[in-house]
Amino acid sequence: MTSAPSSPPSPAGSLPSCCLMILNYNGQELLEESVPSALAAAKALGVPCPVVVVDNQSTEADLEYLQQDFPEVEAVLAERNDYLFSLNAEVAKRSEEVVVILNNDMTFDEDFIAPLLKYFDRPEVFAVTARVFDWDRETVITARSRLVLKNLWSSLHRTFDDPKPCYTFYAAGGAAAFRRSMFLDLEGFDPLFRPAYYEEVDLSYRAWKRGWKVIYEPASVMIHRRAATLSKQGSKDRWAKIISRNQVLFNLKDTGSFAQLLGFLFLLPVRWLRAFLSGNRATADGIFMSLARLPQALIKRFRGRSQYVVSDLELIHEIEHGQIETSAPGQGAPEQRAVSP
């Protein structure tokens, strides 16, 4: 992945350089709320923080709208509509140390940026994810996550009531800050998961396996109008099947030992039959759809493991028991780590 030169690392005790990157497709009515909110937050940060809108080849006049109403925004036209994967090339073109990736169907607390940035003077931090509320501003929909390995199947468990910063399994793809250098080392979001879902889970897993960290920071708050963009590009039934397919691909590509992989493959037809007989069409179709990408997933599984330094069990233990010492923005404190058994 060809990249622009990075900015020099920020001095100790200061916030890293950053930009806000909003992904958009035919979302002018959403940009009318998200862009002013992002600009206000960038201004409140008190240091330069460009707001970048990456347009995924909108068929409507979104770029013209941005250029006319928000000339201070950097409007970029993606090469094609590649969903979140369009951002791989755009992140590579930036020079900031941190890129905050955001959805266009969101608004943001004015002070949401600094709580995300304050951890990046710790060299092991890959990403920091925010607390996200539904549009009702009461229901938390994105918070802490854990990896659960059970019955030869890897799944996600989420909790929504963690009041303090803590480790989390994955950084939400449209609500998190990413260290650009690490993002590029990992080659960004893996196109195996096109068009959407589980790409940020896979990315965060690969970061954890390198010994890097992902943090949940509830002091950074965003409001999300869920699926306002994706709903324009497919039915709920279609997306349910893709989620099921990509969960299978995540298991195939990423988690577990070789023995667990063999067991997973052995049980996959059983899981398909059980879903089919119970009338769970989305799960059954998703499992069937995964077969076309199974060889690619397995190739990537074995190619990527040479750089892993943390086992799945160590990863799970660190997320569950690792402690984070918080500090004021720009004054990142050393991490207090639990001792692994």
Q: What is the pLDDT of residues 176-208, one digit of tens each?
A: 999 999 999 999 999 999 999 999 999 999 999
Q: Are residues 300 and 169 in the same domain?
A: no
Statement to judge: residues 174 and 92 lie in one domain: yes
User: Are 60 and 182 members of one domain?
Assistant: yes
**Do you find a cis peptide bond into 195, omega within 30 degrees of 0?**
yes
pLDDT of residue 324: 87
Tokens 């299978």 belong to 248
Q: What is the pLDDT of residues 18-65, one digit of tens each?
A: 999 999 999 999 999 999 999 999 999 999 999 999 999 999 999 999
Q: Does any domain span residue 7?
A: no
Cβ 103 vs Cβ 229: under 8 Å: yes
State the Cα–Cα distance between residues 96 and 113, nearest whole angstrom. Answer: 14
> In this structure, are 172 and 133 located in the same domain?
yes
Mean pLDDT for all residues in the chain = 91
* C-alpha span between 293 and 290 (Å, rounded): 6
Q: What CATH number does the domain containing 170 carry?
A: 3.90.550.10
The answer to whether position 5 is within a domain reads no
**Residue 138: count of CB within 10 angstroms of its CB:** 7
- The type of residue at 226 is R
* Residue 286 belongs to some domain of the structure: yes
Among 232, 249, 280, the domain-final residue is 232
Strand bridging mode 106-108 / 213-224: antiparallel
Q: Is residue 166 part of a domain?
A: yes
Residue 249 lies inside a defined structural domain of this protein: yes
Same domain for 177 and 266, yes or no, is: no
Predicted confidence (pLDDT) at residue 242 exceeds the cutoff of 50: yes
CA distances from 263 to 28, 35, 201, 224, 271 (A): 48, 48, 22, 38, 12
pLDDT of amino acid 334: 36
Is 314 part of a structural domain of the chain?
no
Tokens found for residue 61: 């006049």
The answer to whether 316 touches 329, Cβ cutoff 8 Å, is no
**Each residue's pLDDT tens digit, 320-338:** 999 887 654 444 433 333 3
For residues 96 and 109, what is the distance between their CA atoms, to the nearest angstrom?
22
**Domains held by the chain: number:** 2
Are residues 171 and 279 located together in one domain of the fold?
no
Same domain? 184 vs 218: yes
For residues 189 and 298, membership in a common domain is answered with no
Is the confidence at residue 235, as pLDDT, over 90? no
* Predicted pLDDT at 325: 75
Determine the Cα–Cα distance for residues 181 and 183; give it in Å rounded to an integer.
5
Please indicate, yes or no, whether residues 279 and 135 belong to a single structural domain of this protein: no
Helices (H), 178-277: 180-185, 199-209, 236-253, 258-277
17-43 burial string, b = 16+ CB within 10 Å, else e?
bbbbbbbbbbbbebbebbbebbbebbe
Q: How far is CA 54 from CA 45, 62, 66, 102, 251, in A?
A: 22, 11, 11, 10, 30
Shared domain for 190 and 273, answered yes or no, is no
Residue 6 lies in a domain: no
Domain that holds residue 226: 19-232
Model pLDDT for residues 77-127, shown as the tens digit of each residue = 999 999 999 999 999 999 999 999 999 999 999 999 999 999 999 999 999
- How far apart, in whole angstroms, are the C-alpha atoms of residue 169 and residue 214? 7
Domain edge (last residue) among 178, 200, 232: 232
Confidence of residue 9 (pLDDT cuts 50, 70, 90): low
Confidence band, pLDDT 50/70/90 cuts, at residue 233: low
Q: What is the pLDDT of residue 1?
A: 58
Range 276-290 average pLDDT: 97
**Final residue of a structural domain among 198, 232, 266:** 232
Tell whether the model's pLDDT for residue 304 goes beyond 90. no
Mean of the pLDDT values across residues 226-254? Answer: 85
Residue 313 lies in a domain: no
pTM here is 0.90
> Does 254 share its domain with 107?
no
> Are both 104 and 242 inside the same structural domain?
no
